[in-house]
Amino acid sequence: MRIFVAGASGVLGIRLTPMLIAAECVVAGMTRTPEKAGMLAELGAEPVVCDVFDAAALERAVREFGPDMVMHQLTDLPDRAEDLPAGRSANARMRREGTANLIAAAQAAGAKRFLAQSIAWETGGEGQAAQEFLEQEVLGIGGVVLRYGQFYGPGTYYPEGENQPEPPRIHVDEAAARTVLALDLASGIYAVTDDGATDFEPVR
């Protein structure tokens, strides 16, 4: 399977990309940071430097790769947890405009499958509205939504073993491993959490 991973250099993407390649997928890893292209190449992906908000460039990039699946693992979150309140608007824009652009590019490229990252908890306000928009748009094209619990583990806001977020949560390595197992799911919403089933019973 040829998979275009948007957000391949993120905390989940850097774990997911080599797992997909180990599963014999051909992966294009998209990042908006040129300095991260070399890292993605070292992981075995074809690096793509592109900003999801540049709709024309994004469409060209996805068309050129010709994926079977487009995977939306994009977020726009600050490096520090204490800065999250100030970053909500940027992440909401990613969920709305970024999602719309990525879906349009996937459709233009003729990708048959679309999988997107969502969350398993409610945020309220603008963030929740943007999350609901993402899920509705993905389901509207027959895609798959994975509602991840809060990530913990190296590179996350909760890097230490004793310091875990409140449920719903999931270790970021386990989240990546389960994403690989989700490639052939039927359209729907599925929970990916520590306390959830591992056989992907749909949430709805």
**Residue 22, number of CB atoms within 10 A of its CB:** 10
Q: What is the pTM of this model?
A: 0.96
Phi and psi based region of residue 136 (left: phi greater than 0; alpha: psi -120 to 50; beta: remaining) = alpha
Residue 174, C-beta contacts closer than 8 angstroms, at least 6 positions apart = 194
pLDDT of res. 195: 84
Report the chain (204 residues): mean pLDDT per 10 consecutive residues: 98 98 98 97 98 98 98 94 87 97 98 97 93 98 97 94 89 97 97 81 80
| Residue 36 DSSP code | G
Amino acid identity for residue 4 in this structure: F
List the one residue out of 139, 179, 133 whose CA is nearest residue 3. 179
Instruction: Compute φ and ψ for 127, nearest 5 degrees.
Output: -65, -40
